[in-house]
Structure 1
Amino acid sequence: MIDSRRLRTLRAVADHGTVTAAAAALYLTPSAVSQQLAALEQEVGHQVLVREGRGVRLTAAGEILLRHSHAVLAQLEQAQAELAAYASGAAGEVTVASFATGIAAIVAPAMRELGVSAPGIRLEVRDAEGDASLMLVLDGRADLAVAVEYRGAPGEDDQRLSRFPLYAEPFDAVLPRGHRLAEQAAVAVADLADEPWIGPYPGNPCHDVVMLACETAGFQPRLAHSSDDFRAVAALAGAGAGVALVPRSALRGVELPDVVMLPLVGTPATRRVFAAVRRGAQEHPLLRPVLDALRCAAADAHLV
């Protein structure tokens, strides 16, 4: 009999690439993770990992087992969801991991709505930028992620997660108020090819959106300054340090006396936001109301 906890450990190692990183994600010691994997190898009669540099690589047997682990763990999540529904467990805590703008735009409004429609559900919110929210869900440290589409993001067919689209938000150009294009009604990304740029760090999904928009316009941006804080980006642009592309909601309600924000013409830059839970858990009586509240908050936010 294969222990499902050891399958979860195997998946964490595959996701994180090292025993040490998997141990940190699972709140275990590296020794405990190694023991779990050794026990798993005894259970299946095959070696599942081999050392490769400072990391590890799954063997062919490990890859087979990993594919089955996705189905097994999803089935267990579904069983827990159905048992919770049977027990009418519409009271409890849900941990939501989201990037900062998503918290402000939809998570906080959803929390307010749940306080009325499902007062037994309490949200614990964690600020998690980049792709960190998805890993928190996969590692079991969060129940639900609000994440941004990025290169390499788990796709719709990923066997570990169930995804739910929330909204697609356009980016606007941020220019110093005295910029040569500041008086236009809109601007093309290609018109900014020769400018110094201010943008998020690699690893932030918005970095991918900016880079793709510039690549589509036929150039690689010259990143002169980097920040994941869009208010800092706007301040730098206002100081004449460069131009930027920023999600429309990121600076909503912020006073911007030194910059102008212009919509883009041509191929738009878009931030696609989705919610994700571990596959099989989507019908859990605690998660379903939260997902519904997030979708309603996204529709009410008018982010397009």
Structure 2
Amino acid sequence: MIDPRRLRILRAVADHRTVTAAAAALYLTPSAVSQQLAALEQETGHALFTRSSQGLRLTAAGEILLAHTHEVHAQLERAEAELAAYAAGAAGEVTVAAFATGIAEVLAPALARLGREHPGIRVRVRDAEGDESMRLLLDGEADLALTVEYRGAPGADDARLTLIPLYAEPFDAVLPASHALAPHPSVALADLADDDWIGQSPGNPCQDVVVLACEQSGFQPRMAHTSDDFRAVVALAGAGAGVALVPRSALRGTELKETVVRPVTGSGPTRRVFAAVRRGAETHPLLARVLTALTQEAAHLSPHPAHP
């Protein structure tokens, strides 16, 4: 008989690739995690992990058991959701991990809506970029993640998650006012191939979208400067330090001194924003109300023209 409590440890090690990282996520000691894994292997009669240069990797038997683990956890989430629905509780706390612009665009208005319609629901917000917010969600430190699509992000077929699309917005080109293309009404990415670029830190989902768009336009951007604060990115462009691509909503309310903002011609990069919950939890009454508020606020968003 497999002890279902050990399946949580199996999934954490599969997610984090090391016993130490999994132990930290589970608030256990590494020795306790190792002991539980050894016991699980004894229960199943199979080796579940092998060691590689990238850390621990699942064996074929481990992959089979992990697939069942996802189903077990999803069913447990559904059980909790049904019990909560039975209690019809419209009160409680929900932790949401979200990136800064998403907080401003949809989460903050959604909180105001919830305050009017469901005052018993408390939402605790954690500022986190897309990759970090997904880790917080999967580790159980957040109940919902507001994040963006990026290369390597979990897809709709991920057995651990349910994804709810919210909105999409284009990236605009931010150029120094003195740039040769500044007088043009729009710009093509390929025309910026020889410029210095201002980007986000490696691992930031926006950086991934920008680099991928440039690669699709036939060049690798030369990142001369990096900042995860779009105000700093715009300030650097205004100082003539380089060009940048910035999500349109991030430019609203930003001082655009000595810069021009131009739409990108063709199939320019797009930031796709979605909410994510652990699969099976989407019908939990608290989460369902928060998701409804988010989708209602996202529906009010409309594309804004690029700044002149």
Same fold (TM over 0.5): yes
Q: Secondary structure at the match of 2:275?
A: strand
Q: Could you tell me whether the CA contact under 8 Å between 2:209 and 2:270 is conserved in 1?
A: yes
Match in the other structure for 2:285:
285
Match in the other structure for 2:110:
110
How many angstroms does 1:303 deviate by?
Answer: 4.5
Q: Could you tell me whether the CA contact under 8 Å between 1:167 and 1:303 is conserved in 2?
A: no
Q: Could you tell me whether the CA contact under 8 Å between 2:17 and 2:54 is conserved in 1?
A: no
How many angstroms does 1:5 deviate by?
Answer: 2.6
Aligned-residue identity in percent: 72
Superposed, 1:224-303 pairs within 5 Å as 224-303=224-303
Distance 2:53 2:165 in 1: 38
Match in the other structure for 1:44:
44
Distance 1:7 1:123 in 2: 29
Q: Secondary structure at the match of 2:285?
A: coil
Gap change, CA 1:225 and 1:85, over 3 Å in 2: same
Match in the other structure for 2:172:
172
Gap change, CA 1:303 and 1:103, over 3 Å in 2: farther
Q: Secondary structure at the match of 2:300?
A: helix
Q: Could you tell me whether the CA contact under 8 Å between 1:9 and 1:22 is conserved in 2?
A: yes
Q: Secondary structure at the match of 1:83?
A: helix
CA RMSD for the aligned pairs? 1.3
Q: Secondary structure at the match of 1:286?
A: helix
Superposed, 1:1-304 pairs within 5 Å as 1-53=1-53, 55-303=55-303
Q: Which whole-Å deviations, capped at 9, do the CAs of 1:269-289 have from their partners, x for residues lacking one? A: 100111000000000000001
Q: Could you tell me whether the CA contact under 8 Å between 2:185 and 2:262 is conserved in 1?
A: yes
Distance 1:300 1:32 in 2: 49
Q: Secondary structure at the match of 1:125?
A: strand
Distance 1:74 1:210 in 2: 34
Structure 1 length normalisation: TM-score?
Answer: 0.96
The residue type paired with residue 113 of structure 1 is: R
- Structure 2, unaligned stretches of length 5 or more? none
Distance 1:22 1:209 in 2: 29
How many angstroms does 1:8 deviate by?
Answer: 1.4
Distance 1:208 1:269 in 2: 10
* More deviation, 43-52/201-210: 43-52
Q: Which whole-Å deviations, capped at 9, do the CAs of 1:153-189 have from their partners, x for residues lacking one? A: 1111111000000011100000111211112211111
Distance 2:89 2:111 in 1: 18
Report the count of equivalent residues: 304
The residue type paired with residue 243 of structure 2 is: V
Q: Could you tell me whether the CA contact under 8 Å between 2:151 and 2:209 is conserved in 1?
A: no
Q: Secondary structure at the match of 2:209?
A: helix
The ranges of structure 1 where at least 4 consecutive aligned residues each deviate by more than 3 angstroms after the TM superposition are none
Q: Which whole-Å deviations, capped at 9, do the CAs of 1:98-122 have from their partners, x for residues lacking one? A: 1111111111111111001111111
How many angstroms does 1:137 deviate by?
Answer: 0.9
- Structure 1, unaligned stretches of length 5 or more? none
Structure 2 length normalisation: TM-score?
Answer: 0.95
Q: Which whole-Å deviations, capped at 9, do the CAs of 1:105-161 have from their partners, x for residues lacking one? A: 111111111001111111011111131111111111100001111111111111100
